[in-house]
Amino acid sequence: MLHPCLVPLQCSKSCGSGRRQRALQCVNHNQQEVHEMYCVNQIKPPNLESCSTHACDFIWITGEWTECSASCGQGYRQRLVSCSEVHVENDNYEYGHQSLSNCPGTPPESYMPCNLDPCPQPQEWRAGIWGPCSVSCGDGVMERTVQCMSADGQGQQQQQQLRILYEVWLDTIRCQEIQSVNGPVPDSEHFLSIQGKALKVYCGGMQTETPQEYITLTTGEGENFSEIYGFRLNDPTQCPANGSRREDCDCRRDYSAAGTTTFSKVRLDLSKMNIITTDWKFAVNREGKSVPFATAGDCYSATRCPQGRFRINLSGTGFQVAEGTSWVSQGNYAVANIHKSQDGSTVSGMCGGYCGKCTPSSGRTLPVTVA
C-alpha cells in the first residue's frame, strides 16, 4: 500500500504570521520514492501551514541627527524615526519597518532646534531697488545692489539675485528641501515652516525627484469623506420623509455616478496653498466610483431634497479652509446646503438634484490657510 512521505521545512518567520512548507513524496512500503501516479487514489496532505503566530515585538529606531541647518540664529536638526518589528533568527535580530502606530508610547523626537545664539549683525544693510525681471513669465531673475555700511560710511557693494520662483520660499520650507539635506529617506511626517509657523506635514514620494506634501487628517476618515448618493426616487417630484434619508423609499439604486470615498491624508499645493481634491494616494473608495474631496451629489429628487453628503474636518492639522471659500451647484435641479464653522476648521454639505452635485468654486482645489 502506498502512502506519502512528509518532509517538514523551517517556519518562514520567528513571530507574526509565518508560513511553513513541506515537500510531499510518494513512497512504497519500503519507503522508496515512486512516481506520484501510484498515490493518485490517496488524499494529498496540505503542503503549507501557518506557524509562529505569536505577536512580534516592536521598538523605536532612530537615526543620526543631521547637521544644524544654520550656523547661527534659528536652525533645526532632523533624524529618521521609524517603528520596527523585531525578528529573532538564529540568535540574530532582524528589523522590518512597520506603521508608527504599532510601537508603544510616544515616538522619539525627529526635529529639534539648534544654534539659537543670535547671528552677528552688520551695522546697516543698504539695498537698492530690484531691477526688471529677466523673463516675462516662468522662472526669472531680478538683481539689486546691496551695501554693508560701516560706521565711517564706507561700504562694500555686492550683487544679490532672487529667483522669482523662490519668493514664496522666504518663509516656507518644503519636502524637497528636507530631501536635499537628508537624501532619499522614507516617507514620513516632518515639521515644515509654512508662512512663519512650524507645522507637521507628511512628505510623500521622498524616494523620487518630486516629493509632495500631504496634510494628515488627524480627525480620521469618518470626519473626512465625500459621497454621491446612489438611490433614485421612482417619482422624482417627491421628497419623502420630510427630506430625511431612508433606504426603504420607493426608489431604485442605479445611479452610475454613485460612490463613497474617505480620506486619511490630502495633497497640499504649498505654492498656491490649495488642497488638490482629486489626489487619491491616501483615499479609500468604499463603494462605487471615486468622489473628489469636498464634493457631494445625487440623482435622488428634483424638489430640493439633497441626499449626497461630504464632510471636512481639519481640526488639529494647523490648517483651515480659507475665508470666503464657496461651493457651486452643478447639474439639473441642483442644490447645495453648506455649513462652515466660524474658524474654518470644519465644513459639511448636503448636495444633490436630478441629477446634481456641489464642488468648491475653485474647481479641483480647495483653498486653505494656516490657522
What single letter denotes the amino acid at residue 19? R
- Which of 56-70, 100-114, 342-356 has the largest mean confidence? 342-356
Single out the residue of 266, 258, 257 nearest to residue 221, CA to CA: 266
In the DSSP assignment, the letter for residue 121 is: P
Find out whether 306 and 298 touch, Cβ atoms under 8 Å: yes
Q: What is the mean pLDDT of residues 280-287?
A: 95
Indicate where the chain has its CATH 2.20.100 domain(s).
124-170
Question: d(Cα 332, Cα 302) in Å, to the nearest integer?
Answer: 8
Q: What's the pLDDT score for residue 140?
A: 67
What's the longest Cα–Cα distance across the chain? 111
Yes or no: is domain 124-170 CATH 2.20.100?
yes
Q: Residue 169: pLDDT band by 50, 70, 90 thresholds?
A: very low
Q: Indicate the SS3 state at residue 37.
A: helix
Question: d(Cα 198, Cα 179) in Å, to the nearest integer?
Answer: 17
pTM value is 0.55
Tell me the CB-side half-sphere exposure of residue 147, using CA atoms within 13 A: 11
Q: Which residues contact 22 (CB under 8 A, 6 or more apart)?
A: 6, 7, 8, 9, 47
Set of cell numbers at residue 123:
551695522
